[in-house]
Structure 1
Amino acid sequence: MYLNAKTIADLVNNETATGKLIQAQKAGGKWVTSNFAVIEAIAQLAAVDTEADSEQLEQQVSDYLYTYYVDVRDLPSVGKLAPGVIQSTQQGLSLSESLHQACAEYYEVALFDLDTAPELEEDPIIETEDTIDVDAETVATEDAMPESAQVEQVPESDQDKSI
């Protein structure tokens, strides 16, 4: 699936949207976006948060995409994108939408649509609790090497003997 700029910006700012992404990723497949989408998403986030600096927003978006296994790819060449962009703009899509559509086609994936994506069936945030009481004997047993991996101890009197 391909993430366009609007989707990336929505995902970064919305836990419900992230839940939809996680639910969709359960189906498998490759998840990609383009450098163009990342730049446009950063610009959209900057328009909302005028106090944030570009490096901070870039890091936030990059971290998000890395966390959710979305591969950021370079834009295809003009020759590869132009036919799709022309066709999409002739059908009434904006230049940005046309570029994202052409990228998705080039990467051979569908556009991810948050509006039609299913809700996450479970809470995506996994909370950990320290409820397990581990005693010293259990730790010693777990850390012990199996007998097959133990090395035989050589008596000191035999250590100086050469073969």
Structure 2
Amino acid sequence: MAVLYTLVSMGEQAAAGMAYLEKNTCIIHGNLAARSVFLSEHLICRIGNFSAISVLSKDTSITIPISAFTIKWSAPEVLKFCHMTTKSDVWSFGVLLYEVVTYGHFPYPRMNDDEVQDAIQTGYGLPRPTGCPEPLFKIMMKWWNDNTDCRPTFETLQW
């Protein structure tokens, strides 16, 4: 149970960092994944890897070329329209937490990018990881909602 608490704490810290960006800076990360979170020796998490970052006006979005994002962490609207918002970062955060709960396993392990893109477009979601409590997985499923308006904010996620 202590290990799960530590993993959830890491997710909370990452969500808090993204909540700060969402609320105060109008930044879309665009490349959020476990590889974007830096961990100190005291298990303090910091968001990094801002290579795909975009600074926007409040409540706006960007359109990006498909080569600028990673398929397995991308929301349906990114895959279909190359349209990115903070809500697409929320989707990616759900995949990041999947990585954390599975101790670093890549999402969609036996699928190539084309298969993942097709699967996400048809509503396929990641399965519940072994050892992931059902209540936590139910929360993760909210992050992977096809309707961006139904996805929580990072402020909600950190709590």
TM-score w.r.t. structure 2 length? 0.23
TM-score w.r.t. structure 1 length? 0.23
Give the strand-richer structure, 1 or 2.
Answer: 2
Please identify the structure whose Cα radius of gyration is greater: 1
